[in-house]
Structure 1
């Protein structure tokens, strides 16, 4: 059991620390130009990594689970209340293609990493299945492959640590790419340009401070925004659980039923779909709501803090340095192939970045990146498209795992 200054069951203190770090990251982003260039998301992530690696807060707690189970689902509808509904559907089809091209990068990276390290890492066939499935879908796929291939718990724990560190580094890289002139000169960046143009009118302010300028908001706005979001979260959860029980899924079930289960039984996809439905049915109601984007963005910064907490640098260097190398190879190859494919097919840089993020970190972290960057029209599309990874990830992981097993 880990010994830290703040214990895992000291929930009020842990909640307070998470809230303070999230709040401080937003303040710094809007107060200082250097912090604005890093973005509040990266500051929140870095602050969490510092706190967990200096023994101040634990890497596991029910508080962090609550953020994943409550805060993240609540933030999604809040951030979708004011998006361009028609543009979402227009963008989704095009983003699907770059997401699938990016997933090829995951497969290529896993194969390259396997052949580079198979003599040095035990059970790399099982780990290859786990990482390839995870870097095409998410943690659900990681757990599914670990169970399917009966990977020892100790190896799974080390792999989780390597995965957490890789995720944190990749998130910083993907957040940084759109700000680099090298990429800005070679790719179209309409969403980045739009955000920058919105922020050029007020002198002496950071981009973030200008973008999040003071707006009129009432107590009724807060009540209706949060209340509506909670209603959507609850209904979508119950509906997705109903379909998950109704539709059979698993290794012995056809692809069609697994696909249906993945589409209708996934909470995040159901939540996104239901939000789109009510946006279409009651447009005037949502147009009159104020503050939902601000509330949702604040909640997402809380999520960024929690993403960084499990990253244990000590455990990586002690137990899993080569596992980190393996995960890093997969992620880097994914990013490179995503950029090359995106350039060939003339995709915007923002689409490429989000597709790669959705592969490596899942649709939730990709949506969080879009939110942090102010690319509000891409939040819905990447949530929809990224969820496909949950469906195809396990199939890809299974195929690669069985192939690798014959090569060891």
Structure 2
């Protein structure tokens, strides 16, 4: 059945992607219910509904352009805060919990893969994608899907399973602070503080955080100009290394891994950005607006990953994928909350750490903003940004390991 908007109607589709991303941000900042759900989920679910109602197509060159151009630009813009020294100095405690949560993801992926590898095709590639996605977020999903060249229909089915599970889990995380069991078993200082102070009338936490900031034309020029330059250099270097390291058809594991690291454009992009930001932190610290620009681009990506989420496709093609991602999320949650309680972390810290793994720093920060946990916003953004870095590396390693087991 043809969609109302055709795949070749480029401007109409760009209007929808950019417009719905803007609407999602507006709703998050205008209404408290939307702030609690988060703009990311609104962007994703809205696109999913319209795609399943055949208002917009499930595939188009416009969506491909988002993967090819928008995501690579968003990565450095969001990494401009990824000064490794700053992350360690300001967020060391939360970083420890985030890494524990990441171990839970790896454990869940491993168990789910071993259990279902004979039942789901291309699970080695999907396992790599989901490892990266559930350590760093959707950006890693996009990067690893391109790296391992997963078939389009399996990427779509995995996207549906991922989106549904992500939405369900976010609602679980949102509900946890209201459940008596968790309030009795864990320390909740930030929740207690918010309940004590109350919220300002007519203002959501999201609008309070994303308030107007000092930004100039030079900031925009430096932010976007630096992002374009970094992407261009990184992708060119990756192509050069890829041509130098002849791993295709080789049985040499070292060459395959070396090519996977140096020849992968997303890993090269991540590595160069972090090195530049750490070494030249004074320059990048002075650029205002990069977080806002990167976040808006990520919201466009949230819309796009909701588009191919055809519910009939999931039911018909790969219902086991939902079980696969559910096992990963379950282990992530168990590791986070069990070890979090063992090491005496607060409930709020566990929630945002797990959220940063499953959804990335944007959704984790959105939840912290929505809940009014202001002291956790900057640390989880920094720590979650690290997930962009390690997610690609760990996802790549898991992918190579899974390939050897197929």
State TM-score, norm by structure 2. Answer: 0.79
Identify the match of residue 102 of structure 1 among 105, 128, 135.
105
Give the Cα–Cα distance (whole angstroms) in 2 for the partners of residues 140 and 236 of structure 1.
Answer: 14
Listed as ranges, the gaps of 5+ residues in structure 1 are 115-122, 148-155, 358-364, 402-408
Question: Is residue 20 from structure 1 mapped to residue 12 from structure 2 by the alignment?
Answer: no
Name the structure 1 match of 2:119.
Answer: 124
Once the two structures are overlaid, the 10-residue window that deviates more, 337-346 or 125-134, is 125-134
Listed as ranges, the gaps of 5+ residues in structure 2 are 133-140, 344-348, 368-376
Indicate the SS of the match to 2:360: helix
1:349-364 pair list within 5 angstroms: 349=350, 350-355=352-357, 357=358
Name the structure 1 match of 2:374.
Answer: none
Name the structure 2 match of 1:264.
Answer: 262
**Alpha carbons of structure 1 residues 21 and 188: separation in structure 2 relative to 1, 3 Å:** farther
Give the Cα–Cα distance (whole angstroms) in 1 for the partners of residues 188 and 126 of structure 2.
Answer: 30
**Alpha carbons of structure 1 residues 280 and 21: separation in structure 2 relative to 1, 3 Å:** same
Name the structure 2 match of 1:404.
Answer: none
Question: Is residue 285 from structure 1 mapped to residue 290 from structure 2 by the alignment?
Answer: no
**Alpha carbons of structure 1 residues 248 and 175: separation in structure 2 relative to 1, 3 Å:** farther
Q: Deviations over 1:52-91 (max 9, x none)?
A: 1111111111111111111111112222223554143576
How many residues are aligned here?
Answer: 369
Q: Deviations over 1:324-358 (max 9, x none)?
A: 2x111111111122222233433752333434x3x
Question: Is residue 336 from structure 1 mapped to residue 330 from structure 2 by the alignment?
Answer: yes
1:6-405 pair list within 5 angstroms: 6-88=5-87, 95-96=98-99, 98-113=101-116, 124=119, 126-137=121-132, 138=141, 159-179=154-174, 180-181=176-177, 182=179, 185=183, 202-249=200-247, 252-317=250-315, 319-320=316-317, 323-324=318-319, 326-346=320-340, 348-349=349-350, 350-355=352-357, 357=358, 366-370=360-364, 372-373=366-367, 374=377, 375-401=380-406
> For the Cα contact (< 8 Å) 1:370–1:378, is it kept in 2?
no
Give the Cα–Cα distance (whole angstroms) in 2 for the partners of residues 177 and 96 of structure 1.
Answer: 21
Give the Cα–Cα distance (whole angstroms) in 2 for the partners of residues 233 and 200 of structure 1.
Answer: 44
Give the Cα–Cα distance (whole angstroms) in 2 for the partners of residues 143 and 244 of structure 1.
Answer: 15
Give the Cα–Cα distance (whole angstroms) in 1 for the partners of residues 31 and 355 of structure 2.
Answer: 25
**Alpha carbons of structure 1 residues 88 and 303: separation in structure 2 relative to 1, 3 Å:** same
> For the Cα contact (< 8 Å) 2:143–2:266, is it kept in 1?
no
- After TM superposition, give the deviation of residue 184 of structure 1 in Å: 6.2
> For the Cα contact (< 8 Å) 1:21–1:44, is it kept in 2?
yes
Give the Cα–Cα distance (whole angstroms) in 1 for the partners of residues 152 and 234 of structure 2.
Answer: 32
Indicate the SS of the match to 1:337: helix
- After TM superposition, give the deviation of residue 391 of structure 1 in Å: 2.2
> For the Cα contact (< 8 Å) 2:73–2:231, is it kept in 1?
yes
Give the Cα–Cα distance (whole angstroms) in 2 for the partners of residues 187 and 255 of structure 1.
Answer: 46
**Alpha carbons of structure 1 residues 245 and 201: separation in structure 2 relative to 1, 3 Å:** farther
Give the Cα–Cα distance (whole angstroms) in 1 for the partners of residues 182 and 236 of structure 2.
Answer: 44
> For the Cα contact (< 8 Å) 2:52–2:311, is it kept in 1?
yes
> For the Cα contact (< 8 Å) 1:95–1:381, is it kept in 2?
no
State TM-score, norm by structure 1. Answer: 0.79
**Alpha carbons of structure 1 residues 111 and 277: separation in structure 2 relative to 1, 3 Å:** closer
